[in-house]
Structure 1
Amino acid sequence: MSITRFTVPLLAAAALLPVVPAVATAGEVAWQLCATVAKGWDPGDRRTECALVPVPLDYADPGGPKIDIAVSRIRATGARTGAVLLNPGGPGQSGLDMPRSVADSRAGGIGVHHDLVGFDPRGVGYSADIPCAVDVPEPDPGVPDKAKAREAAERAARANWRCVAAHPDFVRNLTTPTIARDLDRIRVALGEDKIGYYGVSWGSALGAQYRTLFDDHVDKMLLDSVMPPDLNVTAMDDGQATAGENTFHDFASWIARYDAVYRFGTTEPAVAKALLDLRAERGDVNGMLANPRREWAGLARQLAQIRDGGPISPESAKQPGRLGWDGEPHAFNHFQQTALLCNESPSPRDFETVWQHRLDRMKRLPVAGGYGLYEQLCVGWPLPARPWALTAGKSPLQLVGHTFEPVTPIGWAFAMRQRIGGDLMTIEDDVHGSLSALTCANVAVTFFDTGKTTTASCPGAPIPAP
């Protein structure tokens, strides 16, 4: 059966689904090479197998309509002891290729004794990918910022309303607890009493939710770049902007150490003032002031060139990992992300409040305050919020936080540990989900093999010199 048929509109797909057992077992799941069944898959990949696992559209009605969740795996290369499910985050991000990325990383040793298992969460990729898009055209450059923001928010809200109205039951069930229940159906389909889990970013929240609901079925769980224990997109924007503002001042301190190269000043305050003065003259440099450390050398050189009269590079002006009011994300299902966040965040739904929050944030945080991404998504969202209710468990839990990271600030990892337990390892870098790329990825391999956790600190990649 080709996986590609589940990219058709949801209602049509649901009508075509055959009658399936309430819970698929290991003997009922047909594994095939992904390259032979998944459209667009790398034809040279002979390791990764794919299958479809049926789950209820609504777990409150387990005998009702079903959808299929696309699952992938790379079998253990040595003496197998179990399986580790993987999720890269998002929400809205496909995870079907994550077994390959982990197998080929420095954490690849996890796959010696464990099957590496990925999946597309419902509403993403091959798992009943919901066909909803928000088309926000480029605004008239002469329109004031607030009017542009209002137009973008209202267009997005109208598109969201149309999609919710077309697929009400499906959208209502786009929540973290629902996807955690999908994970448990995958566990059963794998024939495992207990599963390991490795989640990054929003995948850490999914893992925490699974552990809350199914702790008895958790073997070991590792959560990297940890989300906060309570989802509120207003607080998320505040936390990310605060981390971004701190990054700006760290960047200014780094430039000051190399004044002989960049000539912005010899102290952090002097460099910060020089950069803000440059921004006042050239507003298009704002997206260059709070970027990851690995980009500092190139950005500092570009900023010095702009100060001296040179042009700005279009690539340098981009703010990696951030979206403005008119932005459009790529490589994941934008609507699924919006639905998950807004279905679960008790944040404002009206434009005026969200806009005022943005102005207040920019006043507190003049560099990064305007980078807010998430709160705007929920303007006009028509469904009520159902907040998370995460609790502690007894299964082995390793948390991983990144000291300088702006995407999931380190404080979120401490808050999550306080709520659900576990041990926290810190990585001295600002790179989102970088554990598998570092030498200390051996901590993950040891953890899944032995259950041994750590509270150690791990060095990240060094900051490049000029």
Structure 2
Amino acid sequence: MVFSRARLAASAVGLALLTGCTTAAPMVQPTDTSAPVPDELEQYYTQELDWSECGTNFDCADVTVPMDYDEPDGETITIAVKTFRAADTAQGTLFVNPGGPGGSGIEMVENISSYFGSELLRNFDIVGFDPRGVGESSAVRCYDSAELEEYYSLEFDLETDQGWDDYVQALTDYGDACEANTGELIGHVDTISAARDLDVLRAVMGESTLTYLGYSYGTLLGATYADLFGDNVGRLVLDGAIDPSLSFTEVSTGQVRGFERAYRSYLEDCLAGADCPFSGTVDEAMQQTIDLVEQTRDTPVETSDPDRPVDDASLFNAITVTMYSPASWPSLTSAIDALLKDDGSQVQFLSDYALEREDDGTYPEDQGAFRAIDCLDYPVELDRQTSTANAEANEELSELFGEAFSYGEPGCATMPVASDAVREEIAAPGTPPIVVIGTTRDPATPYEWAEALAEQLESGVFIGYDGDGHTAYGAGSACVDEAVEAFLLEGLVPEDGLTC
């Protein structure tokens, strides 16, 4: 669970992308898998795919999997796959996941040069897939754009009984809409099912073992895969790792600490520059930020759209989304500087990007996938007293982020399908080395989580990156990039505890 992921993904890929593609013979034939496949699943593991050209060096296909692995002869769903062909002769297939939950691997592969080094592009066929519930696969549907626009505008005073009841009712209505518009699939988008899909993808792509690079939530997917299919694990890299043993509340608390730490790093960098809209020490700049959030709550700031002034929620979204990459920090600095001059347009732009809102007011159709997946993975109870106590504790950790990252439990407790998942450590015994990476000032998946996962995995190998932003590979560290690529390309296992 990554609190802010649903606000960050790129715009949904249009269906026109595949229009007019011609059908070709399968690029690879399925081969024998490493571990035995149950007879009832053989039809899925041995299926042949109809591949279509869908761009220069890209091929697309849909893979059929059971909606419910406990009923493999029942209803089926499809997993959309998009492959970027290696520039040279491929030495194998690299599966990738950008995180989320709800991130699109297809969109990730379409932006191939932004993520992967040239050596990987030359030597691997890189496979992006939309996990079940997401994007071009059989997907979750909740609110349409008009309903979502109204939903995002709601405000609740959770200190009052009426405010709490209204909050719970709004969340219940949202969950009911997800069930009505998604159907039975809403109860089958959990990470264990997605990991089982990934093993089918591995087999139909002709790979006896899985080579995989997962970011953020993709590390939970990768670790779950390793635990379920240890005999099929090849070279796995888990970057920006999640500690699978944490509860919903513990994840929220970890992210409160992570974003507080990341924002203070931004402020330190900002104050060292010439154009920072804040002044004084980091503590003083933090208080100035809190005061500005409160000010926009009371008096929203006009934008280029007179119907959409910037309020505290928009400012908070802008701050949150820009913590994911230090390359975005100048945009936040410029936006806050303009806000202080009574122009909220730049802040509104960043907020819209965070929420995946297009200029015409539309949102991705699968925007509900984040909550649906998250809530099946994390069991919670609807308990106002406990939620309030958690929020108060988080506010002690961060006055800026504490309350905003709290009160998430009711969102899952009101979903139509209750989670029976068990949050526990993942050891994945008997696998080859699995590389786990943590970034010291990662806001969304704190460094400590990566350390914990590497320790839990029987074969975990840890790389620590002293840096800012969410995830490390491709973020500018030659040390990290070289270690990851040497492992994926040559099988060279980095030294456990390597610091970059």
Shared topology, TM-score over 0.5?
A: yes
Residue 226 of structure 1 pairs with residue 226 of structure 2: no
Residue 195 of structure 1 pairs with residue 210 of structure 2: yes
Give the Cα–Cα distance (whole angstroms) in 2 for the partners of residues 56 and 395 of structure 1: 29
Letter in 2 for 1:378: C
The counterpart of 1:395, out of the listed 432, 443, 450, is 432
**Residues 149, 295 of structure 1: CA spacing in aligned structure 2 closer, same or farther, 3 A cutoff?**
farther
The counterpart of 1:156, out of the listed 171, 192, 195, is 171
Residue 407 of structure 1 pairs with residue 444 of structure 2: yes
Q: CA deviation at 1:163?
A: 3.7
What does residue 461 of structure 1 align with? Answer: none
Bigger mean CA offset, 197-206 vs 286-295: 286-295
**Residues 261, 214 of structure 1: CA spacing in aligned structure 2 closer, same or farther, 3 A cutoff?**
closer
What does residue 414 of structure 2 align with? Answer: 380
Q: What TM-score, normalized to structure 2?
A: 0.74
Structure 2 SS opposite 1:250: helix
- Contact kept, 8 Å, 1:222 with 1:444, in 2: the verdict is yes
Structure 2 SS opposite 1:229: coil
Structure 2 SS opposite 1:408: coil
- Contact kept, 8 Å, 1:400 with 1:427, in 2: the verdict is yes
Q: CA deviation at 1:334?
A: 2.9
Q: Taking every aligned residue pair, what percent have the same amino acid on both sides? A: 25
- Contact kept, 8 Å, 2:338 with 2:346, in 1: the verdict is no
Structure 1 regions of 5+ residues with no counterpart? 6-19, 36-44, 459-466
What does residue 368 of structure 2 align with? Answer: 335
What does residue 88 of structure 1 align with? Answer: 98
Give the Cα–Cα distance (whole angstroms) in 1 for the partners of residues 482 and 285 of structure 2: 39
Q: CA deviation at 1:95?
A: 1.3
The counterpart of 2:390, out of the listed 328, 342, 357, is 357
1:27-426 to structure 2, matched below 5 A, reads: 28-33=48-53, 35=54, 45-102=55-112, 105-133=115-143, 135=147, 137=150, 144=157, 150-164=165-179, 169-258=184-273, 262=276, 265-279=279-293, 281-283=295-297, 284=311, 287=316, 291-292=322-323, 293-297=326-330, 299-300=332-333, 303=336, 310-316=341-347, 318=350, 331=364, 333-350=366-383, 353-372=386-405, 374-382=408-416, 383-389=418-424, 390-393=426-429, 394-420=431-457, 421-426=459-464
Q: CA deviation at 1:401?
A: 1.4
Q: CA deviation at 1:31?
A: 1.3
Structure 1 SS opposite 2:484: helix
* 1:313-340 Cα distance to aligned partner (Å, 9 max, x none): 23336569867xxxx9955723222122
Q: CA deviation at 1:412?
A: 1.0
Give the Cα–Cα distance (whole angstroms) in 2 for the partners of residues 143 and 221 of structure 1: 43
Structure 1 SS opposite 2:128: strand
Give the Cα–Cα distance (whole angstroms) in 2 for the partners of residues 305 and 167 of structure 1: 42
Q: CA deviation at 1:117?
A: 1.1
Structure 2 SS opposite 1:221: strand
Letter in 2 for 1:366: E
Give the Cα–Cα distance (whole angstroms) in 2 for the partners of residues 370 and 173 of structure 1: 31
Give the Cα–Cα distance (whole angstroms) in 1 for the partners of residues 463 and 338 of structure 2: 40
Letter in 1 for 2:476: L
Bigger mean CA offset, 53-62 vs 347-356: 347-356
Q: CA deviation at 1:346?
A: 2.4
- Contact kept, 8 Å, 1:55 with 1:69, in 2: the verdict is yes
* 1:400-422 Cα distance to aligned partner (Å, 9 max, x none): 21111111111111111111142
Structure 2 regions of 5+ residues with no counterpart? 1-13, 17-39, 298-310, 356-360
Give the Cα–Cα distance (whole angstroms) in 1 for the partners of residues 337 and 60 of structure 2: 50
Q: CA deviation at 1:60?
A: 1.0
Q: CA deviation at 1:189?
A: 0.8
**Residues 122, 267 of structure 1: CA spacing in aligned structure 2 closer, same or farther, 3 A cutoff?**
closer
**Residues 187, 301 of structure 1: CA spacing in aligned structure 2 closer, same or farther, 3 A cutoff?**
closer
* 1:171-230 Cα distance to aligned partner (Å, 9 max, x none): 222111111001111111112211201111111100000010111111100111111222
Give the Cα–Cα distance (whole angstroms) in 2 for the partners of residues 386 and 439 of structure 1: 36
Letter in 2 for 1:392: A
- Contact kept, 8 Å, 2:442 with 2:471, in 1: the verdict is no
Letter in 2 for 1:450: E
Q: What TM-score, normalized to structure 1?
A: 0.79
* 1:381-418 Cα distance to aligned partner (Å, 9 max, x none): 24133124522342231112111111111111111111
Give the Cα–Cα distance (whole angstroms) in 2 for the partners of residues 423 and 340 of structure 1: 28
The counterpart of 1:432, out of the listed 439, 463, 470, is 470
Give the Cα–Cα distance (whole angstroms) in 1 for the partners of residues 482 and 400 of structure 2: 37
Give the Cα–Cα distance (whole angstroms) in 1 for the partners of residues 41 and 265 of structure 2: 56
**Residues 253, 53 of structure 1: CA spacing in aligned structure 2 closer, same or farther, 3 A cutoff?**
closer
* 1:227-270 Cα distance to aligned partner (Å, 9 max, x none): 12225322222111112222343344445545x76585543344
Give the Cα–Cα distance (whole angstroms) in 1 for the partners of residues 154 and 200 of structure 2: 50
Give the Cα–Cα distance (whole angstroms) in 2 for the partners of residues 130 and 437 of structure 1: 31
**Residues 384, 264 of structure 1: CA spacing in aligned structure 2 closer, same or farther, 3 A cutoff?**
closer
Structure 1 SS opposite 2:346: coil
**Residues 302, 340 of structure 1: CA spacing in aligned structure 2 closer, same or farther, 3 A cutoff?**
closer
Aligned pair count? Answer: 426
Bigger mean CA offset, 414-423 vs 357-366: 357-366
